[in-house]
Amino acid sequence: MWLYEKKLQYPVNVSCKNVQLAKWIITQYGGPDGELAASLRYLNQRYAMPTERAKAVLNDIGTEELAHLEIVGTLVHKLTKDASVAELKAAGLGGHYADHDRALFYVDAVGNPWTAAYIQAKGDPIADLTEDMAAEQKARATYNWLINLSDDPQVTDVLRFLREREVVHFQRFGETLNYMQEYLSEKKCY
């Protein structure tokens, strides 16, 4: 089971309302390389992993991604909560307003809804861990592009923290992959 802790993993402050920036950042909420995809991918892949270490890494990184989902959701909420309809319209969120008002939804930067087709579980630990490493790099690159787009230093600070986490996750998955390869080659010998 999971416990909810009534705090964010990293503090989120924004300088002012910024609808345009929110429209781009929401891709890390419900986009192809976003935190929802990351979390659901890892938490789902853990069942088929043959080593205790891989199960632990997927379980714990999948859990941290849920904390990141909440950070991204908080960013979007704070950047849009007082926006007028005219401001939403001007930032290209007229369609979002029609379907969701100012509610958050799992969409990418152009409004495509989240789909399970973004993620995979192959049942082959090498294939799955390699996918996870690629996913971390794609998430890191997305945060990079978002940092380039950001004109709010307080938002940039949060995006930098999240980008750094992807680098650490990539490192841990890389170690898990090496260990898995050793484990599988030893198993073949006997």
Partner 1 sequence: MAVNDPCLILLRKIQQMEFVALELNLYLDIHPDDCKALEQYNCTHKELCELKRQYEQQYGPLLNYGYGMNTGNNWRWAEQPWPWEM
Binding site for partner 1 (CB under 8 A): 3-12, 53, 56-57, 60-61, 64, 70, 73-74, 77-78, 168-169, 172, 175-176, 179
| Rounded least distance, CB 110 to Fe ion, Å | 23
Out of Fe ion, partner 1, none, what residue 12 binds, judged by CB under 5 to 8 A for its kind, is: partner 1
- Angle, in degrees to the nearest 10, between helices 35-45 and 125-149: 170
Cβ contact 41:119 at 8 Å: yes
Q: Which does 10 bind (CB under 5 to 8 A by kind): partner 1, Fe ion, none?
A: partner 1
Cβ-based nearer residue to partner 1, 25 or 118: 25
Residue 113 β-bridge partners: 107
Query: Beta partners for 72?
Result: none
- Note whether 166 binds Fe ion by CB under 5 A: yes
Helix axes 52-80, 35-45, angle to 10 degrees: 160
Q: How far apart are CA 162 and CA 168, in angstroms?
A: 10
- Which entry of Fe ion, partner 1, none binds 166, CB below 5 to 8 A by partner kind? Fe ion
Say whether residue 131 binds Fe ion (CB under 5 A): no
Using rule CB under 5 A, residue 132 touches Fe ion: no
Q: How far apart (Å, rounded) are the C-alpha atoms in residues 137 and 167?
A: 7
Q: By the criterion CB under 5 A, which residues form the site for Fe ion?
A: 166, 169
